[in-house]
Amino acid sequence: MTELSKTSFIIQCIDKEISSNKVHELKEELDKDYKYVVGIAISNVNASENSILEQVKIKGMDVLPEKFEAAHIMSSGAVAPNKRFFSWFKPVPVSGDELIIRFYDPDWAISYNLQVQILLTNNLEEIINVLFA
């Protein structure tokens, strides 16, 4: 049986109700027990494929380029849950820092719940091998 104390990664989920076609800001303190952000994903159940991540910032630094198309980090149900993360960015060292995401859906028509999933780890080498396998 896996001991929780030895778990080397965690998926932190951040939810926000998207109630208009304006920019919505998601703010969340990252789990302080994990040292690196290595992946990001968005549930594509509700958001339109033209949605934009205006900013994704940790400690004031951009994790993804500004105005990044959300479609790049959205996956259908056909993709295995552990393969839904986008990891083509420099791993971000964190220590309970605040994550700020500014999200915009130009095709918004009805209120929905947006879920952003953040993959954190303590073991960089191990998880990178898994993500790109």
Query: Minimum distance between the CB of residue 106 and another protein, rounded to whole angstroms?
Result: 9
- Is the CB of residue 87 less than 8 Å from the CB of residue 63? no
Contacts of 103 (CB under 8 A, 6+ apart): 16, 18, 23, 24, 25, 26, 47, 51, 52, 53, 54, 70, 114, 116
Of 13-21, 73-81, 94-102, 107-115, which part binds another protein (CB under 8 A)? 73-81
By CB under 8 A, name the one of 87, 115, 117, 122 that touches another protein. Answer: 87
Residue by residue, DSSP assigns 66-100 as TTEEGGGGEE-TTS-GGG--B--SPPEE-SSPEEE
Query: Minimum distance between the CB of residue 5 and another protein, rounded to whole angstroms?
Result: 27
Query: Minimum distance between the CB of residue 18 and another protein, rounded to whole angstroms?
Result: 18
- When asked if residue 131 is in the footprint of another protein (CB under 8 A), the reply is yes
Which residue, 32 or 83, is less far from another protein as judged by CB? 83
* Rounded Cα distance, 71 and 48, in Å: 8
By CB under 8 A, name the one of 41, 92, 116, 127 that touches another protein. Answer: 41
Query: What is the binding site for another protein (CB under 8 A)?
Result: 41, 44, 49, 64-69, 71-76, 78-80, 83-91, 131-132
